[in-house]
Chains A and B, each alone.
Chain A
Amino acid sequence: MKKTKDLKKAFFAHGRVPDCPVYDMHGHMGPFFGLHINRETAAQADAVLKRAGVRLLAFCHHAALLAPDIGNAANIKAVRAFPERLRAYCGINPNYPDQVKKDVATFDRYADVYVGFKFLADYHGVPITDPRGEPAWELANARALPVLLHTWENSSCDGPAVVRKVAERYTRAKILLGHSCHGAWDEAIQLVKDFPNVYLELCAVVDIRGCLERFVSALGSERIVFGTDYPWFNHYYYFGAMLGTGLSDDDCRNIFYRNAEKILGVNA
């Protein structure tokens, strides 16, 4: 297929560009406490993704992260209802170690559902180094699976210093730094430089002018993946932000889909 020349022009004209698909590597689903999410369901997600030209949303249902009585069943149900555009991270909450063991032991049963694991350490109040999360890390490391972390500056659960510890220990797992250690931009860059299996993810990052430009000038664009926290943030807003950075189309394509395809082992 002949590649579209001017991505910015094409996205502004059509909202989507068929030869530049998007892999959204950081999503969620379902209601959330204390606020109103406009589009909570898997059916709504599928329609939004289709309209926006998002080829795949890798997500973890809020229930899988925060409602242990429901857990990963919410992920499985959503992906199996809308398998074309949805895949899930198996949610790991180390406060429930028996459930972690069970989810890891049955991971292969859901090969059609899962792409890897997700830790939401700040919310769980448990560091990503906690031994109760180890079964997930071990499997991810053995299989070189993606592990999406929520990462934030100064956090004792998932700040850059804690990320460094897991990156030293698990050298094969593909560690995606959700929010790129938000605020600790230089530490995030250093982690990518120090560990070949660490990637930056752009949710709550690319909407702040200057962050992505800084990452790409320090690292190039091959270790950065696109993400929106959908259904929190809007895809078009994030596409517009990407295109507002002034990065080359080649860099944008790496971030929109090429890097994700490599991480997921998708043959384009």
Chain B
Amino acid sequence: MQRDRIVALRAFPAHHNYLLNRVVFGKFLDEVTERRIPLLISLEKAGGGWSAIYELLAEFPNLTCVLCDIGDWNSDRYTWPLLETYPNVFLETNLLTREDGGIEETVARYGAGHLLFGSNFPERYLEAAALAILQADIPAADKKKIASANLESLIQGAQL
């Protein structure tokens, strides 16, 4: 991974017909957790929905897990308990920026430290996500965290 400059992993369990859990991936995910390698999972594309995410994190509570495409208005009842429970859960923001007040509400409750900028390009416009972060009603320092600083520190923290 280091040689090829790969800094994170993605998983598509339902799509590729496997279960992302301790029985199947115990040793592997223990090492991923230990080495703080970010694992990206898209709620839209991974399949399995929120219960699969909840089961995975219950088994690997320190996993560095980036939840992508988290859904819009009804996703906070799934994401907020995770942010409160697991120290290394991060949210990718493309659908938070699309939802009115999504960024402001999340930052007000949990700070900006667990948000990572995303756009879902090429399905959606880069400019849409970018303008929504630039103009969000949050401090400039928080915008910088979301836009770049949080991801940079995740990458630096990973032991490849």
A interface residues with partner B (beta carbon < 8 Å): 8, 11-12, 15, 32, 34-39, 48, 51-52, 207-209, 228, 230-241, 243-245
Contact = CB atoms under 8 A, between A and B. Distances in A.
Given A236-B131, A239-B131, 20 more contacts: A8-B127, A36-B73, A36-B76, A36-B77, A38-B105, A207-B125, A207-B128, A209-B121, A231-B101, A232-B99, A233-B99, A233-B100, A234-B97, A234-B102, A236-B97, A236-B136, A237-B97, A240-B125, A240-B129, A244-B125
A234 B93 CA distance: 13
Interface string B42-75: 0000000000000000000000000000001110
Nearest to A37: B73
A209 B72 CA distance: 18
B34 interface: no
Contacts of B98: 207, 233-234, 237
Interface of B: 72-74, 76-77, 97-102, 104-105, 121-132, 134-137
**Those 4 A-B pairs whose CB atoms lie nearest each other, nearest first:** A38-B101, A240-B131, A244-B125, A244-B127
A241 B136 CA distance: 15
Chain B CB within 10 A, most for which of A11, A209, A236: A236
B100 A230 contact: yes
Nearest to B121: A209
Contacts of A236: 97, 131-132, 134-136
Given A35-B74, A36-B74, A241-B125, A234 B99 contact: yes
5 contacts: A15-B135, A38-B100, A38-B102, A51-B137, A228-B100
B110 to A, nearest CB: 14
Given A11-B131, A15-B135, A232-B73, A241 B101 contact: no
B127 A38 contact: no
Nearest to B123: A209
Nearest to A238: B128
Most buried by A among B74, B76, B131, B132: B131
A125 B113 CA distance: 44
Nearest to A229: B100
A235 B100 contact: yes
A12 B122 contact: no
A29 B135 CA distance: 22
Given A36-B73, A207-B125, A240 B101 contact: no
A232 B95 CA distance: 11
